[in-house]
Structure formats: C-alpha cells, structure tokens
Amino acid sequence: MSARLRKLFLYFLVFLIVIWTIAPFVWLIISSFSYKVDLLSVPLKWIPSRVTIENYQQLFMHEGNFNVNAALFSKSTMNSMIIAFTTTFLAMFLGVLAAYALARVKFPGSNVYMGTMMGAQMIPPIAIVIPLYVILRQLNIYDTHFGLILVYLSFVLPLVIWLMRSYFASIPAELEDAARIDGCTRLQALVKIVLPLSAPGLVSVFLFAFIASWNEYLYAFIYTNVNAKTLPVLIGEFSTKLGLEYLRIAAAGVIASLPPIILALLFSRYLVKGLTAGSVKA
C-alpha cells in the first residue's frame, strides 16, 4: 500500500470514529429543533428544511400555554444544580484533606483506608438502596436536597480521595518541608504550597465529581418524590410515562446533557488524566 493510500485510509477510519461518536447525539439535537410533522414523514429527511424552538419553549413556558411539566422542569433543573454543586464542594473539602493525609502522613490503617475507598466503588448501588432508604426516612430527610447530597457523598468521596491522593503523591514533599522550616504549619503548607500546585488535579476532580452527581439517576429516582426531584429523574419520567412528546424529551435531554458535555469537551485533557489514573465510573 502506498503512503498516500494509507493516509487516506487513516482519515476514513477517523471519519468513521467521529460519525459513530456524534451521530446519535446530533440526531437528538436535530429532533429537538424539529417540527413533529417533519419527523413523521416516510422516507425520513435527515436534515429538516425548517427549524423551531417550540420544543424548548414548551419546557419552560409557565404562562399562556401553562402546563405542570413546565413548572416541574425549571424546579428540577434548579434541584440538579444545587445538589450537584453542593455535593462536589463538600466532597472536595472532605476528600482533599483526607487525600493529603493519605499521601503525606503515614498513619496506621492507611492501607485499610484505601482498600475501603476501593471497595465502596465495587458495591452495587442497588444493594444499599433499601437500608439507605430506611435511614433517610427515619432521619426525616427523604425527598430533600440534604438527603440526596448525603447519599451522593457515598460515591463521590471515594472518587475524590482516590484521584487526589495520587496527585498529591506526585508533588515533591521537599517544597512543603522548606515552607515548614520557614514556620508554616502543615495546614498552611497545604493551603499555600500544595493546593496551588495541584490546580490541574483539582480541576479534574471537580469535573468528575460534578459530572457524576449531575448524571446520577438511581438514587435520585428512589430517594426523591416532589421537592428534590432532579433533572435525570424527570427525564426518566417523561420517557416512561405515556402521552409525552418525544421531541420535548429530546429538548430536555439536550439541556440535561449540556453541562457535563460542555465541561467534558472543554477540559477533556484533565478528564483523560483522571480516567487513566483512577479508572473512574461516572
């Protein structure tokens, strides 16, 4: 095979990979901007001749063509925001401290500690769903932001600790030693020296934590009802209950995908680093 033909073949394969990766999502986007009648035609036209934002408007429309789903949609989006951000920051605060201790200070049981964090990621969520449900009910935090944030910590914390520990371990300890000779306490050394140096690690951990909590479905599905219902649960309801327009589901799906997808595409470098370091499920 000549070099030129080989190059052409390579670009053909790259083209196939790109199509495979984006085609389903692009179809979702096209559907969300289409009129229903255009999509019902046989044979189907892949690029519609006209576009509409009607499907998006219906998601947010409160007055005029009022419907219950619209109010629910805004509320669920808000809930998802609050829960994902709070979980992420809480987990990063607790997790970064723990990871720093694990990377720097040898303390008894640190091996058991890491094993526990590993094990926590191996336990099937559905196996702990029932006891957690009972706990949430007894503490009176079923269907609250706080309850769901607490549950989300169970899978976000191990992830943060696992990733940050290996990141801290890669930063030379001599820098802190120098700072401590100059009179810094360990905590000051962490805040002033280690954290600024760990910015890339912190970014990647933030992304993983946020995407994991934003996308979570099962816990939110079982532990929320009205008040704390998240966007994924609402979309699940849209698509399992009859009578709802597919195109509106498509629009809701696009909106729910935007935060994680935009973050992932903007910061893909950081995510790739984290994925390879920690083998993380989101």
Partner 1 sequence: MANLNIKKSKENGLRTLLSGKGFFGLSLAVPAFLAVFILVFVPFINSLWLSFQRYDLARPQNNAFIGLGNYVNLLSDPRFLGSLKASAIFSLVSVAFELVLGIGIALVLNKKFIGQGFVRGLIILPWAMPAVVNAAMWKWIFNADYGALNALVTQLGIVQEYQIWLANPVSAMALLILANVWKETAFTAILVLAALQGIPDVFYESARVDGANAWHQFRHITLPMITSVVMVAGLLQVIWGFHHPFELAYIVTGGGPYSTTELIPLRIYAQTFRSLRFGYGASIAYLTSLLLLIPAVFYIRNAYKKVVEV
Task: Kindly compute the dihedral angle of the four CA atoms of residues 237, 242, 243, 247, in this order, to the nearest 10 degrees.
Answer: 60
Of 83, 209, 249, 251, which one interacts with partner 1 (CB under 8 A)? 249
- The verdict on whether omega for the bond into residue 232 sits within 30 degrees of 0, i.e. cis, is no
CB of 260 to partner 1, least distance (A): 4
Cα–Cα distance for residue pair 136/139, rounded to 1 Å: 5
Residue of 124, 100, 106, 118 whose CA lies nearest to 194: 100
Residues numbered 148 to 167 that lie near partner 1 (CB under 8 A) are: 150-151, 153-154, 157-158, 161, 166
Q: What is the 3-state secondary structure (H, E, C) of 234-270?
A: HHHHHHHCCCCCHHHHHHHHHHHHHHHHHHHHHCHHH
Of 55, 69, 87, 257, which one interacts with partner 1 (CB under 8 A)? 257
**Residue 171, interface with partner 1 (CB under 8 A)?**
no
Q: Is the CB of 70 or the CB of 158 nearer to partner 1?
A: 158
Cα–Cα distance for residue pair 217/223, rounded to 1 Å: 10
**Residue 85, interface with partner 1 (CB under 8 A)?**
no
Q: Is the CB of 61 or the CB of 114 nearer to partner 1?
A: 114
**Residue 191, interface with partner 1 (CB under 8 A)?**
no
**Residue 173, interface with partner 1 (CB under 8 A)?**
no
Residues numbered 21 to 80 that lie near partner 1 (CB under 8 A) are: 21-22, 24-25, 27-28, 31, 39-40, 42-44
Cα–Cα distance for residue pair 56/252, rounded to 1 Å: 7
Q: Number of residues interacting with partner 1: please give it, by CB under 8 A.
A: 97
Cα–Cα distance for residue pair 12/32, rounded to 1 Å: 29
**Residue 138, interface with partner 1 (CB under 8 A)?**
no
Of 117, 163, 193, 251, which one interacts with partner 1 (CB under 8 A)? 117
Cα 128-132-136 angle, rounded to 5 deg: 170
**Residue 196, interface with partner 1 (CB under 8 A)?**
no
Contact characters 201-240, partner 1, x per CB under 8 A: ----------x--xx-xx--xx--------xxx-xx-xxx
- Contact call for residues 197 and 175 (beta carbons, < 8 A): yes
Of 122, 181, 226, 242, which one interacts with partner 1 (CB under 8 A)? 122
Identify the residue whose tokens are 């969300």.
Answer: 32
**Residue 199, interface with partner 1 (CB under 8 A)?**
no
Cα–Cα distance for residue pair 171/205, rounded to 1 Å: 16
From 63-71, 140-148, 194-202, 267-275, span contacting partner 1 (CB under 8 A)? 267-275
Of 19, 78, 130, 178, which one interacts with partner 1 (CB under 8 A)? 130
CB of 12 to partner 1, least distance (A): 10
- Whole-angstrom CA distances from 186 to 182, 202, 271 are 12, 19, 29
CB of 251 to partner 1, least distance (A): 11
For residue 63, give the H/E element and its range: none
